[in-house]
Structure 1
Amino acid sequence: MSEPDRYPIGFVLSDVDGTLLRPDHSISPRTLDTVRALREAGIVFSLASGRPPRAMRQQLEAFGIDVPSAGFNGGSIVHPDGRYLVRHHVPVEAAVTALLLFATYPQVETWVFADNQWLVRGPDGPLLPLEQQALGYAPQVVDSFEAYLHCIDKVVAASSDVRLLLELEVRLQQQTAGQAQVSRSQPRFLDITAVQADKGQALVTLAEYLGVPLERTAALGDGGNDPAMFQRAGLSIAMGQAEDQVKSQADVITGSNLQDGAAQAIERYILLR
């Protein structure tokens, strides 16, 4: 899109971690003020995240969001009162394929989100404390994931070995083709969700629900699961710290999340008019 301000925007859908949140998971006053200005201008604002809906409540309240939002990369679209507009589980076969693969790598922590819980096999994973801080609740330690196979919302491979996650991403995409979505929401997190769990489809569903044409929507993000939104939105905005592959698929690139890049873009391309 050569003219980022070609269409007046009526609906903005934003990623959370790495986009609206600083690296310490805080929200800057500027970002809060900018989203408030959007709502005062009559522009609808909501969230699309790899997070569980349960872990988005604080952000929903902080931004005053009163419309449905998308968790699990779009696998669950939830009204503010907790009712589901859309919900898709990971097929059992795809979940088992991912779990068996991850179990062969000691440097990979395997997390399962199911039945409104965060499930782990052990309490000592090095990435657990940071994720617990981000989500706002603790994991439940289980002996096996077998009892939850029928209701898994997301499987996550978490590791500081980014190169390994890149390799696992390619392998799983091949092994679960047509069954599940496989993408890295952040460099250290590889997400496996239902094939219908797609932020682009979440944007389409929410825009239709709100009665906003797609050409009047905007999407902001920084992760490998965000270009799906970029491809559907009338205006797509990538954060400055995003990987080149993500930035190459956006209409415009803004500052990083340390520079209030989301607020910069909203001010410049959406509110300025």
Structure 2
Amino acid sequence: MPVNISASSGERNSPASHIRLVVTDMDGTLLTPEKQITPRSIETISALHAAGVPVCLVSSRPPAGIEMYLDAIGLTTPYGALNGASVYNADRSIHTQLTLPPDVISDTLDMCNVHHLDTWLFRGHDWLIKNSAGPYVATEKRVIRQEPVIVDNFAEHMSGIGKVTGSSTDYTMMHDQELEIGRLMEGRASVARSSQWYLDVTPLNANKGYALCKIAEMYSVAPHEVACIGDMNNDLPMFDKAGLAIAMGQTSPEVMAQAHYITASNSQEGWAEAMRTLILPRAVSVEQKQS
């Protein structure tokens, strides 16, 4: 189907003319609203592979929520979980891992409690919750196909935490809390919404831009030779690092303004069309770079 791809009206450096690596968000981007990957997207990943351009996933999801798609997509590439707090090798072993200091976790939990956000902790492959009846627990279980570990309190589980997530059905309040908690955590942690209903707090240097750079290092590729694509505020750090940044069509004007190009939505094959229109014509094999 024809898809309109437009240049962003935001002020950015010119997009890269050669791309050797693609780093992509999952929810709202590669995945449809039904959390599926379309046959056209899978074909496009194969075309990128044939051109020598690896496709790597970077998501706010825990590792299990990413790994469940790797075999289906046919990917054997590194990936980043928890907004970049954990970066994994292609064999699913940990490449790098950043964790939150206990005082940051405690302060975040206090702030979430004041505003009645349901809170979760993520450590390695574990998802820790206190309230099994939280408004998005059932949804998350279905999306990542993982059962949470229910704990009586979080005080005994403060070590090794890569992400704290607060959730609420009040989207306006979540927007406001992204700003408020972000200000309070400035210089201590990264704070960004990964959807309208999830607010993620990760280690200060743990964001998708960090993950993009770590994955690029694995391939001996410079960040300006990387293309990225996403739809939410937590994707903006990788927009800042990549040589070519693409926003999905359903995203906010703020995210669009930070991209080089805007593609169609994730319900209209926007991911595949962006790759075929913008990336494949610029593709240069990563093996050529390394040789």
Distance in 1 between residues matched to 2:29 and 2:154, nearest whole Å: 32
Query: Which among 104, 116, 125 is matched to residue 125 of structure 2?
Result: 116
Cα distance, 1:256 vs structure 2: 0.3
Which of 181, 186, 190 aligns to 1:181? It is: 190
Runs of 5+ unmatched residues, structure 2:
1-11, 283-291
Give the AA of the match of 2:130: R
| In structure 2, distance between residues paired with 1:202 and 1:100 | 28
Q: 1:9 deviation in Å?
A: 0.9
**Is 1:160 the counterpart of 2:169 in the alignment?**
yes
Single out whichever of 245-254 and 200-209 deviates more from structure 2.
200-209
- 1:87 maps to a residue whose letter is Q
Task: Point out where structure 1 has 5 or more consecutive residues left out of the alignment.
Answer: none
Which one of the candidate residues 250, 270, 277 is aligned to 1:261? 270
Deviation digits for residues 28-67 of structure 1, max 9, x if unmatched? 1111111111001111110110011121112222222222
1:105 aligns with 2:115: yes
Q: Are 1:36 and 1:63, in contact at CA under 8 Å, matched by a contact in 2?
A: no
User: Counterparts of 2:104 and 2:29 in 1: how far apart (Å)?
Assistant: 29
Match of 1:46 in 2: 56
- Pick aligned residue for 2:178 from 144, 158, 169: 169
TM-score normalized by structure 2? Answer: 0.89
SS at match of 2:233: coil
How many angstroms apart in 2 are the aligned matches of 1:115 and 1:77?
11
Q: Which protein has greater RCO, CA pairs closer than 8 Å, 6+ apart?
A: 2
Aligned length: 271
User: 1:115 deviation in Å?
Assistant: 4.4
Which runs of at least 4 in structure 1 moved beyond 3 Å after TM superposition? 1-4
Equivalent residue letter for 1:93: D
**After the TM superposition, which of the residue ranges 254-263 and 208-217 deviates more from structure 2?**
208-217
Instruction: Establish whether residue 239 from structure 1 lines up as the match of residue 239 from structure 2.
Output: no
Kindly indicate whether the alpha-carbon contact (under 8 Å) linking 1:240 and 1:253 is maintained by their aligned counterparts in 2: yes
Does the 8 Å contact 1:7/1:215 carry over to 2?
A: no
Cα RMSD, aligned residues only: 1.4
Instruction: Tell me, yes or no, if the aligned pair for 1:14 and 1:221 is still in contact at 8 Å.
Output: yes
Aligned match of 1:21 in 21, 24, 31?
31
1:200 is aligned to: 209
Q: Which residue of 1 aligns with 2:80?
A: 70
Please tell me whether the aligned partners of residues 230 and 249 of structure 1 are also in contact (alpha carbons under 8 angstroms).
yes
Identity of aligned residues (%): 35
